Chains A and B, each alone.
Chain A
Amino acid sequence: MFRYTKEFSLGLTLATLAFVAVACSAAAKNEPFFGKTTPPEGNVLRYVTGDEPESIDPPVSSGQPEARIYMALYEGLVEYHPKTLEPIPAIAERWDINNDSSEFIFHLRQNARWSNGDPITAQDFVYTMRRALSPEQASRNAYLAYHIRYSEAYNSGAVFVKDPNTNEFLLEKDFADPVQAVSEPLSQKTINSPDEEYRATAAAPQPNSDTAFHRFMHSPPRLTLPGSEKARDKILAANPKLQAAVRGKELVAVRGEDLGVEAIDDYTVRISLSLPAPFFSGLLAHQLFRFVPRKAIEKHGARWTDPANIVTCGPFKLKHWKPYHELAVERDPMYWDAASVRLDGIHFYPLLDLATIMNLYKVGDVDATLNHSVPNAWLDVVTPKKDYMDGAEAAISYININVTKPPMNNIRVRRAFAMAIDKVTYSKARRVTKPLFGFTPEGIFNGYPQLKVDAFNPEQARKLLGEAGFPVTKKGDGSYECRNFPLDKVEFIFNTSSNNKILAEFMQAQWTQNLGITVPLRSMEFKTFMVVRSQLEYQGFSIGIWGADYMDPYTFLSLFSTADGVNGSGWFEPKYVDMLDQANRTLDKAKRFELLAQAEKYLVEAQPVIPLVTYSVNFMKKPYVKGMYPNAGSLYPWKFVYIERDPEKWDYGIPSMAE
């Protein structure tokens, strides 16, 4: 049908054009950077932050895309260090920690201002916390503040029990299980002398300790019961002693005023915790703890974040917000450190499609992209470039095992499956990961004794399975089979994504190759998956990914310190919880890390999880963007970021992470 015609010549032209294009991109292989490197005309950074922000009200969203926007608009008592993410002074200029890390005193700087010029005070922080934790606010992040005294009780609408005759409250210790009783932290003991409490850290004289509220904090914890009658009756029915004690007493709702957050004066905040938490000051840079403006919120209600009403306290203020298009912020002259803010503004682009993000980056329409934005297929082209950013991320992937159902309730079977996976090979195949042998990410927590033993041992795995009653035999062609293993009792579930599919198929192949067991795969949509996993409605294996909430191994290890929640495996042992608690009470950092590592070892040996890999941040940043480091959380304190116009001073490669 096709003669040599005009149509054909048109086709030929198109083909030539395509060839030229491919040739051009082939020539680009020798260029040091990926795409254009012309700095933007204005002094404004264009950054792809990921999904569309749900809200710009700090306690609302839990995601990283929003966290980065909050970091431009709001500040907390502390801010993340641009490289290590350790807490650095922000609205608080310094802080003291008591001797067992159960009480913190923050000294606020006196020149901190809201974007409308009002001073930021200690009372603002108290308001921020009472709002963030109120049941009406219903913040998804509230659990992060559960270390603060009575915060969980307040957030869950619990009640105290008061004797109407004596006005005394029932105390927790009188009804606690004596086996589980642990010694009280300093924050709950009677104060003898404040000097003794703060001996180790305090540089300046301590503020007045003798407030009525402080004495309330330093008293034994009150008993709290659920606010809903149904839940309360259930607990009381199970505990006759408690039921007798509560009868005829008055139930008093836990209020925001009972929270362990106190404004001692206009510029001093004291926070009392219910347990020692050495990492707590680092947690305070999280959005949940960033200051929100009381006056604006009380005046405008839910509409306070509208551009006309919003009041912020960060280095930048809101310029405009066009959902699913861009959110623009501009320098705030009221910011206490405005002199060191180097950008005039930032445009955050909410983009989801990775190819779209990379296209915009290549043509120079954006200056930096979010973590994990380089698709696997692009890695060959992109990784040799000098603007590709690599670095360990505080995020891991692992396999959860449902330990409540046979045959996976047998530790030997679990170990066998763990030992049959060659993580080193898997990690190499994935390229942007490192193999993981413990349950905390590699190379992030300085001084933490990482578990480094690779358990990969197919021989031993087959032996263990045999001991568990599932003998593995070698077939004529050299492959293995395990005849009596109940294949209908296991599966590998994951939420649908190409990356997860690669992972699941790799694991399936490993088990087939080394154990002769081909575990069926089942993929499901994300939200369905989350429900199935947390309710343990699966059998066998499920995929798990966890990113740090704060820079401490505890954020990973605590996944298994509750039976429900994010656990997802059904494995729960009080001994493990106790080991973590002992570690957190230890003041010496090295000793604490050692104790945490022991707990980690205990966890990995019990094998409710099979750790797989630590992620890499894997993103792009133009060489002229300076002050942005591939840190472990992909969180950037924006005031340090700037655009360098002198090519001599550009980043040729990953910027040094040394301080």
Chain B
Amino acid sequence: MLRFIIRRLLVTIPTILVVITITWGLIRLAPGNFYTGEKRLPPAIEKNIREKYGLDKPWHEQYGRTMWGMVRHLDFGTSLKYEGQSVNAIIARSLPVSATVGILAYLLALLVGITFGSIAALKQNSRWDYGSMALAMLGISVPNFVLGPILVLLFSLSLYWLPPSRWNGFPSKNLILPVLTLSAIYMAYIARLTRAGMLEVLRSDYIRTARSKGLSERHVVVRHALRGGLMPVVSFTGPALAFLLTGTVVVERLFALPGLGNYFIQASLNRDEPLILGIVAFIAIMLLTMNLLVDIAYAYLDPRIRY
């Protein structure tokens, strides 16, 4: 097991470097610069800016400097657009916001998804099954940029129950709508995956064995069926958690949350190279870590898997 983890970690490092290098190259390919605006600058002013930020240096020098700062000090430098703000500080500041919304949405999705998925599987072809699977289908089909505004229209603009947007710390009423909007699709996926997984497991021999041993139905479901039935859910929710933690562009934009996703989209539009690289690297690390955790969780949930 330990060997497996070490081997995986060793592969992770070059993967991240490749991701960063490709991103770096893509930024170069995109026309325009962080200072490109509505008003085109006189050449003298453009020259001043390029000199100030070292953009007049040859490309390998710029690349070397960026990579060195990253590898050596884990420092992504200073944002070009937001003068004087370090990329590390921006990530440290916006991650908690994204993570709060993300974890809440994740927990809600797990709770509701697994509950409804299990019920659907246990009472297959009943009205419970049809009802929850219809809702799940709806959840998958309605994108969050549609669901969000509908929820806002209903609960904020018409009923004046909940604030329509903005961050107000944890816990607060402001979190309800973004968390609901964000979790809907995950809830739906998890419900469907749970149902499918459970149905398969419930028909397997070891469940039959457990039942024939005379175990209580509760024991069979919670101890045996759920554990096996959740395998597909685990492989789905691992990477999903990484995405939820690092922020989702649409929800953060819609609800004006100062999270990582919001910064990511702005940084790309602004051609803010250090910020883009920093966030990409961070998301890459999160994704790879989550995948690793999923593999470890597999070994724990399924006794057949050994590394």
CB distance from B198 to the nearest CB of A (A): 20
Q: Is there an interface contact between A54 and B83, defined as CB atoms closer than 8 Å?
A: yes
From B90, B130, B159, A21 is in contact (CB under 8 Å) with B159
Q: Is there an interface contact between B166 and A323, defined as CB atoms closer than 8 Å?
A: no
B300: CB under 8 A from chain A?
Answer: no
A21 proximity list for chain B (CB < 8 A) = 153-154, 157-159
Q: Is there an interface contact between A355 and B158, defined as CB atoms closer than 8 Å?
A: no
A427: CB under 8 A from chain B?
Answer: no
Q: Is there an interface contact between B256 and A527, defined as CB atoms closer than 8 Å?
A: no
B42 proximity list for chain A (CB < 8 A) = 143, 562, 564-565
A63 proximity list for chain B (CB < 8 A) = 37
From B32, B84, B158, B253, A527 is in contact (CB under 8 Å) with B32
Q: Is there an interface contact between B256 and A356, defined as CB atoms closer than 8 Å?
A: yes
Q: Is there an interface contact between A356 and B33, defined as CB atoms closer than 8 Å?
A: no
B152 proximity list for chain A (CB < 8 A) = 359
In which size bucket is the chain A interface? 35 or more
CB distance from B175 to the nearest CB of A (A): 14
A363: CB under 8 A from chain B?
Answer: yes
Given A5-B127, A530-B37, the answer on whether A351 and B256 have CB atoms closer than 8 Å is: yes
CA gap between A498 and B152 in the complex, in Å: 23
CA gap between A52 and B40 in the complex, in Å: 21
In which size bucket is the chain B interface? 35 or more
Which of A38-54 touch B at CB < 8 Å? 52, 54
Which of A1-25 touch B at CB < 8 Å? 1-3, 5-7, 17-18, 20-22, 24-25
Q: Nearest CB to that of A228 among chain B residues?
A: B47
CA gap between A121 and B283 in the complex, in Å: 50
Q: Is there an interface contact between B44 and A152, defined as CB atoms closer than 8 Å?
A: yes
Q: Is there an interface contact between A564 and B43, defined as CB atoms closer than 8 Å?
A: yes
Which of A316-365 touch B at CB < 8 Å? 322-325, 349, 351-353, 355-356, 359-360, 362-363, 365
CA gap between A60 and B45 in the complex, in Å: 12
CB distance from A278 to the nearest CB of B (A): 22
A566: CB under 8 A from chain B?
Answer: yes
From A17, A325, A356, B167 is in contact (CB under 8 Å) with A325
Q: Is there an interface contact between B37 and A140, defined as CB atoms closer than 8 Å?
A: yes
From A60, A142, A353, A356, B83 is in contact (CB under 8 Å) with A60
Given A7-B131, A527-B30, A530-B32, the answer on whether A353 and B254 have CB atoms closer than 8 Å is: yes
A602: CB under 8 A from chain B?
Answer: no
B39: CB under 8 A from chain A?
Answer: yes
Q: Is there an interface contact between A323 and B45, defined as CB atoms closer than 8 Å?
A: no
Which of A88-96, A131-139, A177-185 binds B? A131-139
B156 proximity list for chain A (CB < 8 A) = 359, 363
A25 proximity list for chain B (CB < 8 A) = 157-158
Q: Nearest CB to that of B152 among chain A residues?
A: A359
A528: CB under 8 A from chain B?
Answer: yes
Given A531-B32, A564-B43, the answer on whether A305 and B94 have CB atoms closer than 8 Å is: no
CA gap between A393 and B36 in the complex, in Å: 24
Complex interface bits, A517-539 against B, C-beta within 8 A gives 1, otherwise 0: 00000000111101110100000
Q: Is there an interface contact between B81 and A54, defined as CB atoms closer than 8 Å?
A: yes
Given A302-B84, A323-B90, the answer on whether A140 and B253 have CB atoms closer than 8 Å is: no
CA gap between A212 and B160 in the complex, in Å: 69
Listed in ascending order, the chain A residues whose CB lies under 8 Å from chain B are 1-3, 5-7, 17-18, 20-22, 24-25, 35-36, 52, 54-55, 57, 60, 62-63, 135-140, 142-143, 152, 155-157, 302-303, 305, 322-325, 349, 351-353, 355-356, 359-360, 362-363, 365, 525-528, 530-532, 534, 545-547, 562, 564-566, 568
Other contacts beyond A7-B135, A365-B166: 5, CB < 8 A: A7-B131, A18-B154, A303-B84, A324-B262, A527-B271
Show 12 residue pairs from A and B whose CB-CB distance is below 8 angstroms, ordered by the A residue.
A25-B157, A25-B158, A54-B81, A155-B48, A157-B47, A302-B84, A356-B253, A356-B254, A360-B166, A530-B32, A564-B43, A566-B39
